[in-house]
Structure 1
């Protein structure tokens, strides 16, 4: 049989009050009995009984009222959770009057957890919708070509060749899209062991600069290196390299007629500051803050020609945020784009020996 927590705790608290009173009454009775007459002791016992009845009744009321306040808060939590179970995308949150106690702290933490869960749910829903939308086009193209070949195209060598080439191109785009989606999923599930990794900045930037300079000999690649030797940032090396590759790759793709890229990096006692600048097509003001959204492309037709899926900047932003950094963008349509990254410098903890010497 299910018994309400209100009655359970009321009963237990009342028993404690009654037990405490009986102990006090027993001590008082022994004291009076040793010094008073039988008549006085009898009157004293009657008074103890009446006072005991009053204490028990008053204790039951007080404990019932106190437990009711507590259980009311629990009922509010349960009601909110029931609403969320019935409608997972509901905005319902636990509403309890602000006060400085553990119950209020608990509700704040539960509400924060619900906010994170809803954000994650919305993110996954949006991700599935975007993926479905992105895959719809290449699947439709493949279906169209295969249907045409099945009906009559296979008998025409020119049509057959064009359809095969177009189908292969769409398959490569789907493969690229799937790889980037997997990369984004891995970013969202980075192991905690990576969060404690550190990377020396200067060798990494030198390597990435040399790699891109070799890959794009037709470009002028300027590298303004103001990195202090030995500077480190608290980020896994491959993740920092991935961010740089994404930004530089975009810079080369959208450079337009002016084939020039600027990469600059500097460190001070607190921050690593990175700037990647191109002089290409640029981004309209209304689109600037949306470039970090998943699958967002300013010009979808142009992006497809350059092999873009609209996931690279989303991956870069998420990686930088995971490691407590910031990434921003400034752009002028037709003049170029500038991406800026800031990451906190890692400071080596002083050893015990060095501390003792000081």
Structure 2
């Protein structure tokens, strides 16, 4: 049989109040009985009974009101969750008056959790829509060529050759898209073991620089190395290399007529700063805020011709974010684009930003002690 929480807690609180009163009443009656006459003791006993009845009634009323007030807040939480179960896309949130208690703290945390869940749901929905949109074009192209070949094109060697080449090109683009989607999925599910690994910066940058210099002999690649020997950052080596490859690959891809790329890296006591600059087509101001979005391409037609799927920068941004770094972009249309990355340096096994947080925490504790002493 289901018993309401209101009944349970009202009964429990009332029982506690009654038990406490009976103990106090018993001690009081024994004391009066020892020092007073029988008639006085009897009158005191009658009064204790009436006061007991009043205390029990008042206890029930007060406990019922208190439990009802708490349950009203829980009911608001429950109604909001029911609303979200019925309408997952609803933006309903729990509304309570600001109070300095645990239920208000719980409400804040639940609302934050709902905000994150809705953000993830929206991202997933957008991701599925974008994937469907991106795959629709190559599938339609393949279907068109195969239908044409089935009807009449297979008898014409020139048409047959063109259709096969176009179909293979679309298949390669689909393969590239699927691989990038898998990369993006892996980025969202990085194991904790990777998060604790460190990478020495200088050798990695030299390797990436030499690789791209060999791959693009027709380009001038300027490398400004201001990295202190032995500098390390807390990021898995392959992930840092992946970010550099994405940025440099985009720089070469969109360089335009001026075939020159700048790669710069420097370290100080706290940060590793990376700069990748090209002198290409640039990005319009309205597009800068969206270049890290999944599947976003400034010029879809031109990006498709150059093999872009609009996932590379999203992968790079997410990787840097996971490892507590920042990535920003500056660009002028027709003049080029500059990407900047900052990652915290590891100092004696401690991240620079963590060390700074610990220092601030210690200062705060010292100031707090001084304030109490005054």
Shift of 1:2: 2.1
SS at match of 1:48: helix
| Residues in 2 aligned to 1:46 and 1:196: alpha-carbon distance in whole angstroms | 74
Query: Who is 1:106 aligned against?
Result: 106
Query: Who is 2:91 aligned against?
Result: 91
SS at match of 1:218: coil
TM-score (norm 1): 0.96
Query: Who is 1:249 aligned against?
Result: 249
**Could you give the per-residue CA deviations for residues 62-94 of structure 1, whole angstroms, max 9, x where no partner exists?**
111111111011000000000100000111111
Shift of 1:349: 4.3
**Could you give the per-residue CA deviations for residues 181-232 of structure 1, whole angstroms, max 9, x where no partner exists?**
0100111111122111111111111111111111111111110000011111
| Residues in 2 aligned to 1:349 and 1:29: alpha-carbon distance in whole angstroms | 71
2:42 is aligned with 1:42: yes
Shift of 1:46: 0.2
Query: Who is 1:355 aligned against?
Result: none
Query: Who is 1:155 aligned against?
Result: 155
2:307 is aligned with 1:307: yes
**Could you give the per-residue CA deviations for residues 313-336 of structure 1, whole angstroms, max 9, x where no partner exists?**
000011111111111111111111
| Residues in 1 aligned to 2:289 and 2:241: alpha-carbon distance in whole angstroms | 23
SS at match of 1:75: helix
2:336 is aligned with 1:336: yes
TM-score (norm 2): 0.92
Shift of 1:6: 1.2
**Could you give the per-residue CA deviations for residues 123-168 of structure 1, whole angstroms, max 9, x where no partner exists?**
0000000000000000000000010011111111111111111101
2:303 is aligned with 1:282: no
| Matching of residues 154-303 of structure 1 within 5 Å | 154-303=154-303
| Residues in 2 aligned to 1:269 and 1:41: alpha-carbon distance in whole angstroms | 83
The two structures, once aligned, show a CA RMSD in angstroms of 1.0
Residues paired across the two proteins, number: 350
SS at match of 2:67: helix
| Residues in 2 aligned to 1:24 and 1:159: alpha-carbon distance in whole angstroms | 103
Structure 2: which 5+ runs fail to align?
A: 351-374
- Return 143-152 or 295-304, whichever deviates more: 295-304
| Residues in 2 aligned to 1:288 and 1:30: alpha-carbon distance in whole angstroms | 84
| Residues in 1 aligned to 2:112 and 2:204: alpha-carbon distance in whole angstroms | 38
Structure 1: which 5+ runs fail to align?
A: 351-358
- Return 170-179 or 61-70, whichever deviates more: 61-70
